[in-house]
C-alpha cells in the first residue's frame, strides 16, 4: 500500500488523498495577455522529474504540497503551503 505523509495527520494510505495537480502561480489578471492566460489554463510542466504538487487529505479537508518524483513515485517531502510560504 502506498503511504502519503499528511502534514497534519501523519502517514495515511494514499486512497485517502486526492491529487490536485502541479503547483502553479496565477498570472495577474489585470496585465495578463491572452496567450499567457491560455498557457496558464492548459499547458503543464512537461519535463519528467521532481514536481511540486497539490494534494488533498479527504478525511480532514487538508490541502498541502508534496514534492514527488513522477518517474519513481517517490515522495520526497510534504508540507503545508502557508508554512513554507512564511519561510520563503
Partner 1 sequence: MPHRLLKFALRKQYPEERMFRAPTELRDEYDVVIIGGGGHGLAAAYYLAKDHGITNVAVLEKGYIGSGGTGRNTAIIRSNYLTREGANFYQASVDLFQDLSRELNLNLFYSERGHFTLAHSPASLRTQRWRAEVNKHLGIDSEVVGPEFIKKTVPELDLSCGGHQAPVVGALYHPPGAIARHDAVAWGYARGADQRGVEIHQKTAVTDIEVRDGQVAGVHTDKGFIKTRKVLSAVAGWTTSITERVGLRTPLVIHPLQALVTEPLKPWLHSIVVSASLHTYVSQSSRGELVAGASLDPYELISMRSTLDFAETMSGHLLDLFPFLGDIKILRQWAGLCDMTPDFSPIMGTTPIGGFYIDAGWGTWGFKATPISGKTMAATVCEDHDHPLITAFNLSRFERFELVGEKGAASVGH
Are the CB atoms for 80 and 65 separated by under 8 Å? yes
The three-state secondary structure class of 51 is: strand
Q: Find the shortest distance in angstroms from Cβ 65 to partner 1.
A: 14
Q: Which residue number, 9 or 49, has a Cβ lying nearer to partner 1? A: 49
Q: Look at residues 84, 82, 50 and name the one whose alpha carbon lies nearest to residue 67.
A: 50
How many residues are given for the chain?
88
Contact positions with partner 1 (CB under 8 A) in 22-81 = 34-35, 38-39, 41-44, 46-48, 51, 53, 70-73
Which residues here bind partner 1, judged by CB under 8 A?
Answer: 1, 15, 18-19, 21, 34-35, 38-39, 41-44, 46-48, 51, 53, 70-73
Amino acid at each position: 500500500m502506498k503511504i502519503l505523509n499528511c502534514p497534519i495527520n501523519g502517514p495515511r494510505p494514499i486512497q485517502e488523498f486526492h491529487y490536485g495537480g502541479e503547483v502553479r502561480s496565477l498570472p495577474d489578471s489585470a496585465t495578463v495577455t491572452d496567450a499567457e492566460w491560455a498557457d496558464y489554463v492548459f499547458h503543464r510542466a512537461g519535463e519528467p522529474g521532481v514536481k511540486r504538487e497539490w494534494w488533498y487529505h479527504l478525511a480532514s479537508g487538508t490541502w498541502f504540497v508534496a514534492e514527488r518524483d513522477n518517474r519513481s513515485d517517490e515522495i520526497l517531502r510534504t508540507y503545508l503551503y502557508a508554512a513554507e510560504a512564511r519561510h520563503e
